[in-house]
Amino acid sequence: MKKILVIYYSQSGQLKQILDNICLPFEKNQEISITWHKIKPVNDFPFPWKADEFFNAMPESVKGTPFEIDSTDLNTDENYDLIIFGYAVWYLSPSIPTTSFLKTEIAKKLFANKKVITVIACRNMWTNAHKTVINLISESGGKTIGNVALSDKTNNLVSVITIYQWMVKGIKEKYMNIFPMPGVSDADINKSIVFGKSILKMMLGEISEQNLQQDILKNNKESFSLSLALIEKTAIRIFNIWANFILKKGDYNSTTRLTRVRIFKYYLFIVIFVVLPFAQLFFSSILLLNPVLKRKLIKRFASPDFNYSQT
C-alpha cells in the first residue's frame, strides 16, 4: 500500500476544502492510505483578523521568522511515498505557520528523501512564496515534483477589497451585495479533484513523475501571470525594506511598533490602488510588444521543480 501524508495550515478553511477535493481520488483507491496533519502554532493566529493584527504579521511573514509549532503527533519514522504540502501566501511569502513548520527538526526529518507536491491557495501572487517553500523543502532533502496553485481570478483591485473584508469579518460572502465572492471560486475548488486524478495517475505509473506538472497545468492554465510575477519581484524587495523598518521598533508582540505598522497599511493601500494598475499595464505592454523578451523571462522563471503556466 502506498502512503500519502497531507500537511497543511488553513485559517479560513478554503485550503482544506481544496485539499479534500484533491484527495478524493485517493480515498476511493484501496491501494493508497492518507494521513492528515494540520500545522498547529502554539499561539495560533486569529480568524477573523483585527486590522492591526493582519498588518502586524507582515514583517515576520516576509523575514520567515519561525514561531513555535506543536508537532508532537507526527510520526517521523513512517515511510511515506508522497507528501502533499498545502499552504497560503501572506505578504508575498509563505504564511508564518508554513515557514515555522518547515524550519522545525521534525519537518526536516519528514521531508528527507521524500517526493513533495505543493498546493497553494492565494489571492494572486505566489511565485516568491513558492520559491521559498521549495528551497526549504530542498534543504531538508525533499524533492518538489509538482505544484497546484489556485487563486482569486477576479480583477486585482476588486480582490483586494473582497479578500480584506473576508479576513476581517471571517465570512466568505459578497461584499455590499455588489462585489463578487472573495477567494478561490467554488467552481475552481470543486474542480480541484482533477489534480488529484493527475497525482493518482503518477502514483499508479500511468504518467511519469517528470510529466506530472504538465498534466496538472493542462487543467490549471490560468495559475500564473507573468506581469504580476514581474511586479512581485520588485514588491518583495520593498516589503523587506518595510519589514526592517518595523522590526527596529520591536518584535511581533511589541506594541511599540504599531505606529509603523499602521503607516505601512496606508502605504500599501495607496500603492495597490494608485501605482499597481499602471505597473501592471506597463509590464503587460512590454511583454505584448516584445515576445522574445517574454520567452526569455518565462525560461528564467522556470526550473525543473518550479513550473508555470502563462496567462
- Is 87 contained in some domain? yes
Which tens digit of pLDDT belongs to each residue from 120-174? 999 989 989 999 999 999 999 999 999 999 999 988 889 999 999 999 999 888 8
pLDDT of residue 307: 47
pLDDT of residue 242: 98
Cell numbers linked to 44? 495560533
User: Which range has highest mean pLDDT (39-43, 152-156, 295-299)?
Assistant: 39-43
Name the average pLDDT for the chain: 90
**CATH code for the domain of 137:** 3.40.50.360
- Is 153 contained in some domain? yes
Which tens digit of pLDDT belongs to each residue from 102-129? 999 999 999 999 999 999 999 989 989 9
- Is 288 contained in some domain? no
Q: Binning pLDDT at 50, 70 and 90, where does residue 222 land?
A: low
Domain count, the chain: 1
Residue in the block written with cell 497531507: 6
- Is 256 contained in some domain? no
- Is 94 contained in some domain? yes
State percent of the chain over pLDDT 70.
Answer: 94
Sign of the C-alpha dihedral computed for residues 110, 113, 119 and 124 taken in this order = positive
Which tens digit of pLDDT belongs to each residue from 61-106? 999 999 999 987 888 888 899 999 999 999 999 999 999 999 999 9
Give the Cα separation of 226 and 228 in Å (integer).
5
Confidence (pTM) = 0.91
- Is 195 contained in some domain? yes
- Is 303 contained in some domain? no
Give the Cα separation of 224 and 304 in Å (integer).
16
Axis-axis angle for helices 226-247, 276-289 (nearest 10): 140
Domain ranges, residue 120 = 2-227
**Region of poorest pLDDT, from 29-38, 41-50, 183-192, 292-301:** 292-301
State the CB neighbour count (10 A cutoff) for residue 283.
Answer: 19
Cell numbers linked to 115? 517526493
- Is 311 contained in some domain? no
The answer to whether the CB of 65 falls within 8 A of the CB of 252 is yes
Give the Cα separation of 58 and 90 in Å (integer).
7
Give the Cα separation of 43 and 61 in Å (integer).
15
